[in-house]
Amino acid sequence: MDDSKIDELKLFVESCKSDPSILHNPSLGFFKTYLQSLGAKIPPSSTSGADNGHTFDEDLVESDLELDDSDVVNPDDDPPQKMGDLSVEVNEESRDLAQILKSKAMDSISEGMFYLFADAF
């Protein structure tokens, strides 16, 4: 077994020694059952309700705190945008034309003319 895994296991065992109620966590039920099959005695849980079959969720209280979601970005539900024709192969001539149009668009944007190339596509 890997040394780092053994160190993690040691830390877990130390945590169980200092707070045996950890073993009453439903996600560790398999481990608790294994320990009991070896004859281990599991001390009763100090958490109310955990020993009598209740889950920890029953002890939770709903908060009256209201969350501010004004900065949350809503999901994009728009239909996918139309993309270029995948059957068209890029050649030297089309690449040069794209670079020229890109340069003209950048010049127009820097001059504040955002409408100049709107009809090009």
Alpha carbon of residue 31 to chain centroid? 28
Mean pLDDT for the chain overall: 81
Q: Tell me: the pLDDT tens digits for 10-27?
A: 998 898 888 888 888 889
The pLDDT of 54-64, averaged and rounded, is 63
pLDDT value of residue 92: 95
Compute φ and ψ for 99, nearest 5 degrees.
Answer: -65, -40
Tell me which of 50 and 36 has the higher pLDDT: 36
For 1, 82, 84, 114, the CA distances from 98, given in Å and listed in that order, are 59, 18, 13, 18
**pLDDT tops 70 at residue 118:** no
Percent over 90 (pLDDT), the chain: 12
The pLDDT of 59-79, averaged and rounded, is 82
Distance between CA atoms of 52 and 67, rounded to whole angstroms?
34
Per-domain residue ranges of the chain: 3-57, 88-121
Half-sphere exposure for 110 (CA within 13 Å, toward CB): 6
Distance between CA atoms of 28 and 16, rounded to whole angstroms?
11
**pLDDT tops 50 at residue 52:** no
pLDDT band at 49 (very low <50, low <70, confident <90, very high): very low
**pLDDT tops 70 at residue 121:** no
Percent over 70 (pLDDT), the chain: 81
The pLDDT of 53-71, averaged and rounded, is 70
